[in-house]
């Protein structure tokens, strides 16, 4: 008869079996896992690793371009007065600009970090404003200097300047144009895919 006794809180039909009482179906188990948002350290470190890789690549590109243009300038410095346009000077400014981008990038990173810290009090960092204006002016200067390099490189023939220097500058300009076209092509191809994925995720 004891095996047929029901305990309080038990549904009809639940019985004691083998000295254990079956818990009601609506009673949560104490060992049930709790919902906790576990942080994946690998996923958290991925954006930082990607940013570090991009920064290292930019550093290598700037150093490489700076050294390259300075070597070209010192190699063809004697052609500065012979060429119709001062193309060696254009190479010198390119080298200085590439090497100067390294400390400017460091200052920009510091300014961005300070700006994020002051966003809570809705205050703009003075260093951030200064670096923003500096990068704006440098962008305008680089754009004008690039156009000027096109004029100087294609506006004179090999009888008016060093043939090797003209080949170097023209090859560089062609590579830059190819990279710009490749970047726009990637944007045109990837943008519809990203927008479509975002729209599908929103639905």
- The pLDDT assigned to 115 comes to 72
- The pLDDT assigned to 34 comes to 47
- The pLDDT assigned to 7 comes to 46
Per-residue pLDDT 10s for the chain (203 aa) are 444 444 454 445 544 444 444 444 444 444 444 444 444 554 445 666 666 677 788 888 889 999 999 999 999 988 888 888 999 999 999 999 999 888 888 887 777 777 776 665 666 667 778 878 888 888 899 999 999 999 999 999 888 899 999 999 999 999 999 999 998 888 888 777 767 666 666 66
pTM of the prediction?
0.65
Count Cβ neighbours within 10 Å for each residue of 16-52 and write b for 16 or more, e otherwise: eeeeeeeeeeeeeeeeeeeeeeeeeeeeeeeeeeeee
SS3 166: helix
């Amino acid at each position: 008869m004891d095996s047929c006794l029901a305990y309080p809180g038990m549904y009809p039909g639940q019985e004691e079996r083998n000295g254990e009482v079956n818990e009601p179906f609506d009673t949560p188990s104490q060992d049930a896992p709790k919902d906790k948002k576990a942080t994946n350290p690998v996923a958290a470190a991925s954006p930082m690793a990607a940013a570090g890789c991009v920064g290292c690549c930019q550093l290598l590109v700037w150093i490489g371009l700076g050294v390259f243009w300075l070597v070209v300038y010192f190699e063809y410095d004697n052609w500065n007065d012979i060429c119709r346009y001062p193309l060696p000077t254009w190479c010198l400014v390119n080298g200085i600009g590439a090497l100067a981008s390294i400390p400017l990038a460091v200052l920009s990173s510091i300014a961005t970090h300070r700006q994020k810290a002051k966003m809570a009090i809705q205050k703009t960092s003075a260093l951030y404003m200064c670096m923003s204006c500096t990068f704006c002016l440098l962008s305008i200067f680089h754009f004008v200097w690039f156009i000027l390099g096109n004029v100087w490189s294609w506006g004179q023939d090999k009888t008016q300047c060093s043939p090797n220097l003209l080949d170097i500058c023209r090859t560089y300009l062609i590579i830059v144009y190819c990279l710009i076209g490749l970047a726009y092509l990637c944007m045109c191809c990837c943008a519809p895919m990203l927008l479509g994925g975002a729209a599908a995720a929103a639905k």
